[in-house]
Amino acid sequence: MKRRILVSGASIAGPSLAYWLDRHGFEVTVVEKAAHLRGGGYAIDIRGTARDVVERMGLLPRLRRLHVDTRRITFLDPDGAVLAGLRPETFTGGAEGLDLEVRRGDLADCLHDLVRDKVEFLFGDSIATLDDRGGHVEVTFDSGARRAFDLVVGADGLHSHTRALAFGPEERYHRYLGFCFAGFTMPNHLGLAREGVLWNVPGRAAALYAHEPGEPMHGFLTFARDEPPFTAFRTPQAQRDLVASTFPDTVWEVPRMVAAMRTADDLFFDVVSQIRMPAWSAGRVALVGDAAYATSFMSGQGSSVSLVGAYVLAGELATHEDHVTAFAAYERTVRDFVERNQALATEGGGVVAPRTRQRLDARNAMLRGRTALPSGAEGRAANTALVLPSYEHALGS
């Protein structure tokens, strides 16, 4: 009999894992609490080893057509004057002409289209309880349905409910990087197209970017804070008030961004953080993607690491009949790659939001001198740190 696997989450890691598990002959069910796939969204990058994954999935032609091709990032000084304009690859470590940049929703659509007719999707539902019986896992869903699976994989993001059920509270694994951010959209009155603009003062950043001149701009307000603002998570109004009070500046587009944030119907507020776990499996339950090892948006590698992790997890499960051995091989293969990419995001804020005046001045001096940013070399080393294993011998097993 085919081994039955339940995957929780239908964003990036979940459908990727479902695709490879189906290719390897597993019976797959994907449960997603949202009623449908979420479209649109900000652009994400697929580079290095992850590009090899989507190539093996046959997605390269479609993703090339969806490529948004951000061509320039303009850095501003605290007064709003232009410091420098650079290709993104200069500081991300990507490779011009090879990297893919697509809207998150477009990538989710591509992945779903690969498996929508091959695996079972349960939208508008989620896991309520997990009971690992040793020989199988009994799952109760929020809908009240009860089913048994051979394995369960949590691919349900940074604040994974599956992780909480199987491994305990998020606080055990959550590593706060000292920043909060608010993301939202606003009218593209600047006419930005395939371009981003970034303003900084020590410990704070305001960024705007757009893919096309007729599309809304994506705005981000990022700021350093020693402790997570737990009280702000209680209501959206508290979040808006906190962000507005942190950005009283009257330079560049900051006042307009704060006003847009105040009324945005798509505001997303969170802390900048990572998930660090000593093990990504317990019994018959495993984790993949942000649920296991969120790298944070400051690394620029979250989706890429998720694609790679899903590919390897499915391949190791196909190669080993014993799930314990397979889970161990998955961790052994991917952990160094994950940790090197997590290291791209630092508590100092890196290129995006240098936390101190000294760090900001050093970054700006390199920008003025057109000196290569160290983050570029670090990024290239991290995003290509894993040579993708081949599991062709296990396909269809």
Question: Which residues, 6 or more positions from 394, have their beta carbon under 8 angstroms from its beta carbon?
Answer: 24, 315, 318, 319
| 139 plus 207 within the same structural domain | no
**Within-domain flag for 166:** yes
**Within-domain flag for 379:** no
| 299 plus 186 within the same structural domain | no
Q: Of the candidates 287, 265, 70, 260, which has an alpha carbon nearest to the alpha carbon of residue 165?
A: 287
Residue 43 confidence (pLDDT)? 84
DSSP string covering 6-46: EEE--SSHHHHHHHHHHHTT-EEEEEESSSS------EEEE
Whichever domain contains 303, its CATH number is 3.50.50.60
Counted domains in the chain: 2
DSSP string covering 49-98: HHHHHHHHTT-HHHHHHH-----EEEEE-TTS-EEEEE-THHHH---TTT
Low-confidence ranges of the chain (pLDDT < 50): 397
Strand 27-32, strand 4-8: pairing: parallel
Could you give the CA distance from residue 248 to residue 232 in angstroms, rounded to a whole number?
18
| 269 plus 328 within the same structural domain | no
Residue 126: give the domain boundaries. Answer: 4-68+103-173+276-350
CA distances from 186 to 6, 20, 191, 223, 256 (A): 38, 38, 12, 19, 9
Residue 397 confidence (pLDDT)? 47
**Contact in structure between 387 and 352 (CB atoms under 8 Å):** no
**Within-domain flag for 377:** no
| 193 plus 248 within the same structural domain | yes
| 161 plus 182 within the same structural domain | no
pTM above 0.85, yes or no: yes
Could you give the CA distance from residue 142 to residue 126 in angstroms, rounded to a whole number?
6
Task: Give the model confidence (pLDDT) of 319-362 as tens digits.
Answer: 998 999 999 999 999 999 999 999 888 766 678 889 999 999 98
For 171, phi then psi, to 5°, come to: -55, -25
